[in-house]
Amino acid sequence: MNASDFIPELVINRPGYLEKSLIYLGKDIIKVFTGQRRVGKSYMLFQLMNHLMKNIPGSNILFISKELPDFRFIRNDSDLLHYLEDKVSPDKNFLFIDEVQEIEDFITALRYLHARRKWDIWCTGSNASMLSKDVAGMLSGRIMEIHIGSLSYSEFLEFHRIENTGDSLNSFLKYGGLPFLINIPLQDETVREYLKGIYSTILYKDVVSRYGIRNIRFLENLVVFAAGNTGSLLSAKKISDYLRSQGVNMPPNLVLDYLSYLTDAFFLIKVPRSDIQGKKVFEIGEKYYFGDVGLRNMISGFRPEDIGKIIENAVLLHLRANGFQVFTGASGNKEIDFVCQRNQERIYVQVAYLISGQQVREREFGNLLLIKDNYPKYVVSMDTVQWESVEGIRHIRLRDFLSMDL
């Protein structure tokens, strides 16, 4: 089989990720696309393969996917190296491995292949532990991570071929940005059944099976708690105390372990808490969000009382998609939803459902007014009108913010 035989007929490009990836084409480093299941990592490989076939004629492209039965025989590093033995050409060799972490001792194989310098290596992985300090150490700086997220709002509009309207925004906030949704009707029950299947795969394959978890009930309760407290300041003790009140006894250190498993699977995103200057990161009181708002809503429901949590989650995902490292900010007893750093740039973002009165207005703008620097500051809300700036602090409607390149 040729690599082109595995490429689906419809591949919708994600230009931002493709442009970032092409920088590393031909570079002597192992490239790994990471991200939650079903966010489109495999399709990034397909986009690159299409690019090679179009722009570099004569490329020797080899594709391996551990999600396809065709490659079940590749169980470990020895199987992989044996399979590649007679497939190398004199030059222009490109190796694409989908879900590389499913190959036992894949690190050994990647180190060998990199040392041989015969292949330009691209992989995908659905678990952050594959790039842990131990793994990175064994690969001695030979690996570059390119994180793939679910669709941004702009990508959601393009994929679904819909206009930027209030109804489109509501659909995005309700159903989320997993790319496969373009293949099914955007209806509550249909989408819920699809997302339920993805949730089960992540929870039971990427977490329960990978880490040998026995207390599955606790894990499920923890996910429900995280969904209900999206964007709230949390601590392991607070979660442990709550679960104990529900009849589930689990010590705080085990809560932290389980949370780390969920973040390693890119299901949850941990946002640390820091002072406004970013000079100190606090050890407790981080916030947790979901890698896809649709999955969060499948667990906890899309309820009016949760809309503030949902839009805050959507804003976080947009900030991360634009390359910002994000913290929640603290200044005395005042909180800033997001303190965002990208190289030498910084922005501050407050998120509100609606600027519904003077009290809300003073709270959201007032916290930002306490920050005495000249970095951009935004208040983002679902208001349909654009409120005036306050001492340089801009109000931006959510639909406009999610459409911005920051």
The C-alpha atoms of residue 199 and residue 203 are separated, in whole angstroms, by 6
| Secondary structure (H, E, C), 144-177 | EEEECCCCCHHHHHHHHCCCCCHHHHHHHHHHCC
Whether the per-residue pLDDT at 134 is higher than 60: the answer is: no
Predicted local distance difference test score (pLDDT) of residue 41: 96
In the chain, % of residues over pLDDT 90: 75
Predicted local distance difference test score (pLDDT) of residue 14: 96
261: pLDDT confidence band, cut at 50, 70 and 90? very high
Q: Where are the beta strands (DSSP E) in 69-174?
A: 93-98, 120-125, 143-147
Whether the per-residue pLDDT at 282 is higher than 70: the answer is: no
Predicted local distance difference test score (pLDDT) of residue 1: 63
**pTM (2 decimals)?**
0.93
Over range 122-145, report the average pLDDT: 73
Query: In degrees, to the nearest 5, what angle opens at C-alpha 276 toward C-alphas 271 and 282?
Result: 50
Domain(s) labelled CATH 3.40.50.300 in the chain stretch across 3-147
Burial of 115 (0-12, 13-18, 19+ CB in 10 A): exposed
> What is the per-residue DSSP string for 165-233?
-HHHHHHHHHH---GGGGGS---HHHHHHHHHHHHHHIIIIIIIIHHT---HHHHHHHHHHHHHTTTS-
Whether the per-residue pLDDT at 312 is higher than 60: the answer is: yes
Dihedral sign for Cα atoms in the order 396, 400, 401, 406: negative
Per-residue pLDDT of 343-357, as tens digits, reads 999 999 999 999 988
Per-residue pLDDT of 161-206, as tens digits, reads 999 999 999 999 999 999 999 999 999 999 999 999 999 999 999 9
C-alpha distances (whole Å) from 341 to each of 276, 319, 346, 349 are 11, 10, 5, 11
Predicted local distance difference test score (pLDDT) of residue 127: 75
How would CATH label the architecture of 3-147?
3-Layer(aba) Sandwich (3.40)
User: Which of residues 249 and 327 earns the better pLDDT score?
Assistant: 327
